[in-house]
Amino acid sequence: MPPDPRAIHISTDGSCYKNPGGRSGCAAIIHYPDHLDREDEQIVDYGCEESSNNRMELLACICVLKWIRENGPWQDVTRVQIFTDSQYVKDNLFRAREWKKNDWRNQHGEPRENSDLWNQLLSAHAKAGIAVHFEWTLGKKTPVLKLVDKAAKAAAKRGGPDIDRGYKPGTIARSMVGGAAGRFPANGQTAVIRPYRKNILAKGEEKVRFDIFSEDTQGYVESCYAFASMHLAAELHRQHVYRVRFNENPKYPQVLEILEEVSVPNTAQRSPSQ
């Protein structure tokens, strides 16, 4: 939806150095319609020592919604448009309502990350006191989007004094493959994996990200994620390699059992065939 000249426009952005777990920040800048005759201003400037990029994108929107409730209404303004370039916010904004109904799980039963902030966003949206529409924009194409990007990065670089108390860092190492981890296609098989990141979720589960090791090529071929009980996840140590057994649900992959620890060459890297 294009910008409405009679609406208030608020651009948001989040940033994280060494995502996830590094210094993080978010910012928001408001642009008033011409009839209010007011200058643009920065209304969110948040920095903390550790969080993640997705959490900062969400937190920027939450802070804006709370600001709207505290500062509205405005003469002859009937709605607010919040602009974000976050694919994460765009893809999940409407799904979050269903997650909440399903105890913060998706339709396949997978627990969702950042449920604390999604819950805050839904609550703040309902209490804004004016119609608020979220608009997704690709990249930093306008002067104000470039400005809010710069402000979010400055807040992240500064870090503190704020604290993201809902952030659970888990344990983190680097993937041998790189790129975003995809859902593991579980079908009851066994696989050799090298865990590199774990995140504690609700209901006694952890999300485990791992590299898959190919015994044929003697290299790491793919980065995936699955879920495990907290007890089992505690036995999956970072940068160790294990043969594990998965469940039979590709929509909700789970590590069910550790069969053995496996020795792999110290020189093992990404398979050249991938």
Strand boundaries in the chain, DSSP class E = 8-16, 24-31, 41-48, 79-84, 131-136, 171-172, 182-183, 190-200, 205-214, 219-229, 242-246, 255-261
Pairing of strands 171-172, 41-48: unpaired
- Cis amide bond preceding 161, omega within 30: yes
DSSP 5-52: TTSEEEEEEEEETTSSSS-EEEEEEEE--GGG----EEEEEEEESS--
pTM of the model: 0.88
Q: Does domain 171-261 have CATH number 2.40.50.140?
A: yes
Q: Give me the pLDDT at residue 138, please.
A: 86
CATH assignment of 8-158? 3.30.420.10
Q: Give me the pLDDT at residue 158, please.
A: 95
Q: Give me the pLDDT at residue 272, please.
A: 54
Q: Give me the pLDDT at residue 274, please.
A: 44
Averaged in consecutive runs of 10 residues, what is the pLDDT profile of the chain (274 residues)? 88 94 96 96 97 97 98 96 96 96 94 95 97 91 92 96 89 83 97 94 88 94 96 92 98 98 81 51
Instruction: Give every CB contact of residue 62 below 8 A, 6+ residues apart in sequence.
Output: 117, 120, 121, 124
Q: Give me the pLDDT at residue 140, please.
A: 80
Task: Go through the chain and tell me how many residues it has.
Answer: 274
Residue spans per domain, the chain:
8-158, 171-261
User: Which run of H or E residues covers position 266?
Assistant: none
